[in-house]
Structure 1
């Protein structure tokens, strides 16, 4: 499924953040004790994109959904809590890589994909508390990451819905 966001659609004005997040993670992927967590508004995390922490009460639909415009981090993080893997790419990604990733995502429940600015690499895969950065869609670690983390052992809310969430932010 491909979703085309429109810039006029806004969700969560005023920053309605769910405070039931289970963990926060640092840049090295390790859990950060509550007293050392960065205090932020709108669910920001030291990783880009974030892989946990405070988030919006509404999740992004993540049943193999490919978003063509950026989505709100705080909604995508809620999807990660449900066991989704969020594949993001920046403007360095080739059309071929974007198409290849989109085809893979559209066939994989509990995944979503969107562009993101200022990634540390070209393509980033994010799951709750874990992240992988690669340069191309042909990287074999992508399949390994998906196999391990889609509804994986670190999922705080296994089996929670990935359908019926937001489709635009």
Structure 2
């Protein structure tokens, strides 16, 4: 009787080779694939963040906030305004003289200026340098006031009565657009008044 030795001996090495090859592929896949797939994540995580305001369209006034204000009165008390800086509401009887102030001014005085059709430009002193302050001062209209406002969120904010726009900086082209649209007092209760003749004391009683 002939022993069946030829066929089994030829298949055994082939099976071992296949198993070893599969094992190698598994190891290679386990090592290489995470590196390949992880490369995109790493490059994305190392990508520099977008600069502030990079996605803001500064070519128009679409982002101007509009507010419906309740009836307002003159008061001698401090007012808790819902906006910061405020856009209108109760205010002191005196108003603030037009011009550029290098210290924060009373909200209640500035709001009276807004009632007089003034434009109020405010900025964060920790985000706007001396050159930026000078640029803002150069853009301020005659019937306007300007002051630092450390607690506002945006680097620069421009406000008229019941209208406000957060800006990305002193060179934001929307400053001129805002003044052109609202600088004549379009929304102010006393559109033909002025900040001229007001007090020069920015914080009464301080």
Deviation string for 1:77-105 (max 9, x for gaps)? 00000000000001211222111011222
Q: Distance in 2 between matches of 1:77 and 1:33?
A: 14
Match of 2:103 in 1: 69
If the length of structure 2 is used for normalisation, what is the TM-score? Answer: 0.60
If the length of structure 1 is used for normalisation, what is the TM-score? Answer: 0.73
Which ranges of 4 or more aligned residues in structure 1 deviate by more than 2 Å? Answer: none
Count of residue pairs the alignment pairs up: 132
Task: Compare relative contact order (CA 8 Å, sep 6+) and give the higher one, 1 or 2.
Answer: 1
- Which of 188, 200, 203 lines up with 1:155 in the alignment? 188
Whichever structure has more helix as a proportion of its residues is 2
2:114 aligned counterpart, secondary structure: helix
Return 5+ residue gaps in structure 1 as ranges.
1-27, 35-40
Which is higher, the Rg of structure 1 or of structure 2?
A: 2
Match of 2:167 in 1: 134
RMSD over equivalenced CA pairs, Å: 1.5
Matched, 1:81 2:110: no
Displacement of 1:136 in angstroms is 1.2
Matched, 1:53 2:86: no
Q: Distance in 1 between matches of 2:159 and 2:111?
A: 9
